[in-house]
Amino acid sequence: MAKTGVGRRWESELSVYPDPKSGATVHQLTGYMGHSSHFYFTYPCWYDNGKKIVFYSDRENRTNLFGVDLESGEITQLTDFDPADGGIGGLSKNPVREEVYFYRAGVLTALDLTTLDLRPLYTRPAGFVGGSSNATADGKTICVGHYKDLSDRFMIDLGHGYVGFREIWEAHPPSTIYKIPVDGGSPVTRGRGHWWRTGSGDSIWTPARPGRSGQTRQVRRSGTSTGCLTANTSATMGQRHRARSTARSSMIIPIRSRRPSRGTVGTFIATSSSW
């Protein structure tokens, strides 16, 4: 069995086989008996010129980030975290440089995918939760948003059935959006008010007029490619549905092209936890 550790190589788990219904070629990237997931489906996670993707996986009783080569299937461990320090969330990839960003123990952290060095960028304010991150198109800043923790008022478990989703929305919690320089520096406040900050892939939603509920404007991050969970344009909806049903907790690619181009879709990667 492979040992945990930054830079450790795991044997390829790649399995290629035809889908029994559609005939599409399926590239199963992981086979480890544990959850393996790509980033949220609107967030890019390709790196090394589209040859690899970043994913997180539960291996040897801990969750870490890994990189997998789409051709050879070789897996490289990118982090080695102590599970006692909390999980990994808010994952995103810089569109310009080989870096990914994530929250862990309330700290926004950058991981250099070339050197595998980590550096802290920003600490979430006490009493606030949330932390989806998105790099701007020029790769110079990260946009993040936080809202007041309301778990003392009602049950919240957004990761398992969106429990508390409606209650948070209706409560209009104090929320703030920040821009964080990736090369260091103080965060800049870009929006503040009593509304629930939320993000979607290449967008951050902010109020059109702070203080007035129900009005939002969309600030798009232009010039970015599609996220990891995309579907081949030549696949039918039935084929996509069948591919999803075979995904389980492994990472699946039933595709011809693996490298996305801007504004198009090219790769289909699925896990059961994403649907």
Question: Per residue in 208-226, pLDDT tens?
Answer: 333 433 333 333 333 333 2
Summarised one tens digit per residue, pLDDT across range 168-199 is 889 999 988 889 999 988 888 888 888 766 54
Backbone angles phi, psi at 128, to 5 degrees: -120, 155
* Of 205 and 52, the one with more pLDDT: 52
Q: Write down the residue that tokens 């109020």 correspond to.
A: 207
**Contact 38/46 with Cβ under 8 angstroms?**
no
Is 35 exposed, middle or buried (CB count within 10 Å of its CB: 0-12, 13-18, 19+)? middle
What is the number of other CB atoms lying within 10 angstroms of the CB of residue 260?
18
Structure token digits, residue 223: 């010039």
The pLDDT value given to residue 228: 28
> In angstroms, how far is the first alpha carbon of the chain from the final one?
30
Q: Does 259 have pLDDT greater than 70?
A: no
Give CA 220 to chain center in angstroms. 17
The pLDDT value given to residue 197: 60
Whole-angstrom distance, CA of residue 252 vs CA of residue 144: 30
- Over residues 264-272, mean pLDDT: 33
- Over residues 86-92, mean pLDDT: 83
Residue among 99, 98, 104 nearest 131 (CA): 104
Q: Does 28 have pLDDT greater than 90?
A: yes
46-70: buried (b, 16+ CB within 10 Å) or exposed (e) per residue? bbeebebbbbbbbbeebbbbbbbbb
Q: Does 206 have pLDDT greater than 50?
A: no
The pLDDT value given to residue 218: 36
What does R_g of the chain's alpha carbons equal in angstroms? 19
**Contact 252/270 with Cβ under 8 angstroms?**
yes
Q: Which of 38-52, 136-150, 184-198, 256-270 has the lowest mean pLDDT?
A: 256-270
Bin 8: left if φ > 0, else alpha if -120 < ψ < 50, else beta: beta
Amino acid at site 208: A
Confidence of residue 274 (pLDDT cuts 50, 70, 90): very low
Is 74 exposed, middle or buried (CB count within 10 Å of its CB: 0-12, 13-18, 19+)? middle
Q: Does 202 have pLDDT greater than 90?
A: no
N residues, the chain = 275
The pLDDT value given to residue 4: 58
**Contact 100/64 with Cβ under 8 angstroms?**
no
The pLDDT value given to residue 261: 37
The pLDDT value given to residue 116: 95
Range among 175-184, 200-209, 240-249 with highest mean pLDDT value? 175-184
Considering the chain, what percentage of its residues have pLDDT values greater than 90? Answer: 37
